[in-house]
Structure 1
Amino acid sequence: MQWWQSLYQAAAWDWISDIVILMGLGAVAWALWRVLMGRLKALAERTQTRWDDVLWPAIDTPFSLLIWGWPAFHALEIFLDNTAGHLNLSWVSVIRELLVVFLLIWFLLRLVNSGEQLLFDEGRRDHTTINAIGNVLRALAVCIGVITLLQSLGVSVSGLLTVGGVGGLIVGLAAKDLLSNFFGGVMIYFDRPFKVGDWVRSPDRNIEGTVEKIGIRMTVLRTFDLRPLYVPNSVFSNVVVENPSRMLNRRIYETIGLRYQDADKMSAVIDDVYAMLEAHPDIETRQTLIVNFNSFGPHSLDFFIYTFTKTVNWQRYHRVKQDVLLQVIGIIHQHGADIALPTRTLHMEPSLMAQGADAMVPPPEAQAR
């Protein structure tokens, strides 16, 4: 009570009006901001683009806190300056700067999260790539914010970066494989040789399966016998990777042999098979389509079919291929021909046959006995 009485008698009370004016201006600015934000959100809902729907919700709450926080810290500084005597109040300005940096980082993180969710909802881009880019942007925003906060606290950022560079070199040498896997994952995200759900295989390694997850360090595949396969990301930087999931068509390449006695029917069979393929609804006629007599086989006259299906689905492809082959069998039978079997024909000269028969007749002495 004695301290309060001495303060009341000695201090000028004009600072109270300053605090009231500051907080009143903050309240007026906040009310105007709420009205403006309501109008902007309503306008954003009527526009065709959806990116303005991402911006305004991200900036709403951080800016509202800035409107209240900035005058509040000024008011706190005025209060302490008039009540606490000769106290060092530089920390209040530091906290005010930290508040601004914190709200800026918060706004950037909210903006990245909202943009990421918008791209997820559109469904036109790969979720793995969107998530990877979002993680990079979040990490970048946090790093910039931390450096700014340290600089506001008086920490030497240049010295910190120098120490961090030397430390990063040491860590890089010690964790070479870990970093190679990390940058291999980054290259997968940006080059996009495959995505989650793709069927991939490598002719260089015994790697084949469906991509389940693309992580920072490794990629998880599910083989066709449903075993999980964990592949370090650095492997994909050194091997050839096939992505059959991105095929435009699937190929049918079959060789069919007719009997040699059906040689006179080969031309008609080939013409009818070609016409059947051109009229087939599941054959892509804009791609290469060949039906030609190819070779004289050991026991057959061979012609081949080279064409592409419209579908790339594995199960659907085999149904189309089955239908094509069954129709080919029907065409061959319609012409009175047949598919050759592995047979062998033995031709003997008549003179050799007579000599063989004479050799089998016993001499007269043997007949008498």
Structure 2
Amino acid sequence: MGFLQTNTGLVVGTLTLIAAWFLLNVLGRHGRNIGSLITRSLRRPLLIGLGVSLYSTWITHWIDKRIDVVDQLTLKRLSATLLIITISWATLNVGHAILQSGSMRRWIQMDDEQDEAMLINLLGRLFTILTLLITTAAMMVNLGIPSAAIATLLGGAGIGFTFATQQISQNFLSGFMLFFNRPFKEGDWINVDELQGTVESIGWYYTRIRTFDRRPLNIPNSIFATKPIENPGQMYNRRILANISLRYEDISKIAGITDKVREHLKQHPHIDQKQIILVNFNQWDASSINMMVYCFTKTTVWAEWLNIQQAIFLDIAGIVQGSGADFAFNCMTLYPASSSNPNQVTQLLSPDAS
């Protein structure tokens, strides 16, 4: 630094800047891909920053020799500050140039251009904040501020920044989780915290689904980190579960009906025979006896499952009626007491009875 403050140092520094300008121009024009991009990004901050640092240091030193304005320590700190600013400027230029490069876009490998631009913009802001924090710390050290005070200040700033961006960081990190873990994909039907719909796009901040009434719904990604995710789109089978009510007077026939229905399901081509099949009389209800039907279809497509379920229900209806039984409905049956006169009961129920 002392050499650059001399006239000889000024000449050598000037020649070095000219040579650097010529070299960076050549590399910028004839370099390839990322190397050429970095060279073009470095050219302005290096030439301007180093030039300002060189000439301002020489001018300040020249004035100080004639008029005692500043001491040597202050002059060195001024030169080092200008150098730190130059390096920070160059780092920011190179970092943003790399983030905007085609190589970075190919490395990210995102199909949605909007999500890609949002991610690159976010990475650029985080890189800028980190660079400015390091630059501030370096300048404070250069100015003689104690390291303990710098650590305390930066720690407090970091805590404050973390609290201020807590929700944003949660959504962003949850977006990374969705990107790498893939609990669901676009086109899946999902159910999260009673929010149901078909996934249209998975972003870095929120995920957009289309509800069953065709409304768009944007869900913050942090929801997926704290709530269970049900993904029927990745199930292996669809379940058929029904409780079929028969009349109490058909109780002698229900055993034969359950056997016939169970055998029918075991021979049905659309029912997965590897899964459990249950057909049983399982409940005494107020107005009926109930038969449970439990099985799984091979298909997971909703429309196909509905058609198969409808066909099976109609087959069960045929079995029930073919067995001489029938389905129950809500009703109340009145039985006269054994000691009562039936004619007297009929007279009491008659509208004309007084």
Q: Same fold (TM over 0.5)?
A: yes
Residue 296 of structure 1, CA deviation:
2.6
Q: Which stretch of the first structure deviates more once superposed, 287-296 or 189-198?
A: 189-198
- Partner residue of 2:320 out of 313, 322, 332: 332
Query: Per the alignment, in what secondary structure is the counterpart of residue 229 of structure 2?
Result: coil
Matched, 1:221 2:227: no
Aligned-partner SS, 1:352 = coil
2-structure distance, mates of 1:279, 1:61: 65
Q: 2:276 touches 2:296 (CA, 8 Å); kept in 1?
A: yes
> What does the per-residue CA deviation read over 1:181-240, in whole Å, with 9 as the maximum and x for residues that have no partner?
22232233233333322222234xx42222222223222222111122222222333323
**Where in structure 2 are the equivalents of 1:138-177 lying within 5 Å?**
139=123, 167-177=157-167
Question: Is the alpha carbon distance of 1:294 and 1:158 closer, same or farther for their aligned partners in structure 2, counting shifts above 3 Å?
Answer: farther
Is residue 2:181 matched to residue 1:199? no
Alignment check: 8 A CA contact 1:62 1:107 kept: no
- TM-score, normalization by structure 2: 0.58
Cα drift, residue 297 of structure 1: 2.5
User: What secondary structure does 1:282 align onto?
Assistant: coil
> For residue 266 of structure 1, what is the aligned residue in structure 2?
254
Identity of aligned residues (%): 32
Partner of 2:171: 181
The CA distance in 1 between the partners of 2:123 and 2:222, in whole Å, is 22
Deviation at 1:175, TM superposition (A): 2.6
Corresponding residue for 1:282? 270
CA contact 2:336–2:345 (8 Å) conserved in 1: no
Give 1:88's aligned residue. none
Gaps in structure 2 of 5+ consecutive residues: 1-25, 39-85, 143-149, 349-354
Residue from 310, 313, 320 that aligns with 1:322: 310
Residue of structure 2 aligned with 1:190, choices 162, 172, 180: 180
Q: 1:350 to 1:228 in 2, by over 3 A?
A: same
Compared CA separation, residues 238 and 354, structure 1 to 2 (3 A):
closer
**Residue aligned with 2:230, SS:** coil
Contact 2:119 2:204 (C-alpha < 8 Å) held by counterparts: no
Instruction: Report matched runs for 1:1-369 at 5 Å.
Output: 110-111=102-103, 113-114=105-106, 139=123, 167-203=157-193, 206-353=194-341, 356=344
Counterpart CA distance in 2 for 1:235 and 1:358 is: 66
Cα 1:291/1:64, change in 2 over 3 Å: same
CA contact (8 A) 2:253 2:325 kept: yes
Q: After superposition, what is the alpha-carbon deviation per residue over 1:15-35, rounded to whole angstroms, capped at 9, x for unaligned?
A: xxxxxxxxxxx9xxx9xxxxx
CA distance 1:318–1:238, change in 2 (3 Å): same
Distance 1:63 1:291 in 2: 72
Q: Matched residues in 2 for 1:330 and 1:357: separation?
A: 39
Q: 1:176 to 1:64 in 2, by over 3 A?
A: closer
Aligned residues: 276
Q: Deviations over 1:151-171 (max 9, x none)?
A: 9xxx96997998977654432
1:310 Cα deviation from its structure 2 partner: 1.4
Aligned CA distance change for structure 1 residues 242 and 116 (closer, same or farther; 3 Å): same
Query: CA deviation digits over 1:32-67, x for unaligned, max 9?
Result: xxxxxxxxxxxxxxxxxxxxxxxxxxxx7568999x
Matched residues in 1 for 2:213 and 2:345: separation?
63
User: How far apart, in 2, do the equivalents of 1:268 and 1:359 lie?
Assistant: 41
Change (3 A) 1:65 1:240: closer
